[in-house]
Chains A and B, each alone.
Chain A
Amino acid sequence: MITFNHVTKTFGEGERALKAVDDVSLTVEKGDIFGVIGFSGAGKSTLLRLVNLLERPTEGEIMVNERNISSLSQVELRRLRRRIGMIFQQFNLFNARTVFGNVAYPLKLAKVPKQEIETKVTELLQFVGLSDKANHYPEQLSGGQKQRVGIARALATSPDVLICDEATSALDPETTGEILNLLKKVNEEYHITILLITHEMHVIKSICNRVAVMDNGRVIEEGSVFNVFSNPQTKTAKNFISSVLNDRLSIKLLNKLRTDHQGRLFRLIFKGDTTNKPILSQVAKKYNIDFNIAYGSINELQVHLLGNLIVELIGADSEINHVIAELEQTIEVREVLDHES
Chain B
Amino acid sequence: MRVDWTTFWPRIIEATGQTITMVFFTLIFASILGFTIGISLFVTRKGNILENKAIHLILNLFINIVRPIPFIILLVTIGPLTRIVVGTTIGTSAAIFPMTIAASFGVARIVENNLVAIDPGLIEAAKAMGASPVQIIFTVLIPETLGPLILGLTFITVALIDFSAIAGTVGGGGLGDLAMTYGYQRFDGSVMLVTVTVLIILVQFAQLLGNKLSHKFLRK
Contacts and interface: CB of A to CB of B under 8 A. Distances in A.
Given A52-B128, A84-B128, A106-B130, A95 B220 contact: yes
A79 B130 contact: yes
Nearest to B146: A96
Contact of A96 (B129, B131, B135, B144): B144
Interface string B122-133: 101111111110
B128 A54 contact: yes
Interface string B120-151: 01101111111110010001100110110000
A109 B127 contact: no
Given A54-B127, A81-B130, A92-B124, 13 more contacts: A74-B132, A79-B130, A81-B127, A86-B129, A88-B124, A90-B119, A92-B119, A92-B125, A94-B122, A95-B220, A96-B144, A96-B147, A105-B126
B220 A92 contact: no
Given A81-B129, A157-B129, A94 B124 contact: no
Contacts of A92: 119, 121-122, 124-125
A88 B143 contact: no
Nearest to B118: A95
Contact of A86 (B128, B135, B220): B128
B182 interface: no
22 contacts: A52-B128, A54-B124, A81-B127, A81-B128, A84-B128, A86-B128, A88-B124, A90-B121, A92-B119, A95-B144, A96-B143, A96-B144, A96-B146, A96-B217, A97-B143, A105-B139, A109-B129, A109-B130, A109-B135, A138-B219, A139-B220, A157-B130
Interface string A55-88: 0000000000000000000100011111010101
Interface string B144-180: 1011000000000000000000000000000000000
Interface size class of B (residues with CB under 8 A): 20 to 34
Contact of A88 (B125, B139, B144): B125
Nearest to B142: A96
A108 interface: yes
B140 A94 contact: yes
Contacts of A138: 219
Contact of A78 (B132, B139, B147): B132
Interface string A283-315: 000000000000000000000000000000000
Contacts of A88: 121, 124-125
Interface string A100-117: 000001101110000000
**Most A Cβ at <10 Å: residue of B129, B130, B143, B147:** B129
A34 B175 CA distance: 70
A96 B127 contact: no
A137 interface: yes
B211 to A, nearest CB: 18
A78 B129 CA distance: 8
Nearest to A102: B125
Contacts of A139: 219-220
Contacts of B131: 78, 109
A138 B139 CA distance: 17
A88 B121 CA distance: 9
A137 B216 CA distance: 13
A92 B124 CA distance: 8
A213 B127 CA distance: 28
Interface in A111-157: 137-139, 153, 157
B220 A82 contact: no
Contacts of B124: 54, 88, 92
The 4 A-B pairs of least Cβ separation, nearest first, read: A92-B125, A81-B130, A78-B130, A106-B129
Nearest to A75: B132
B16 to A, nearest CB: 35
Interface in B195-220: 217, 219-220
Nearest to A74: B132
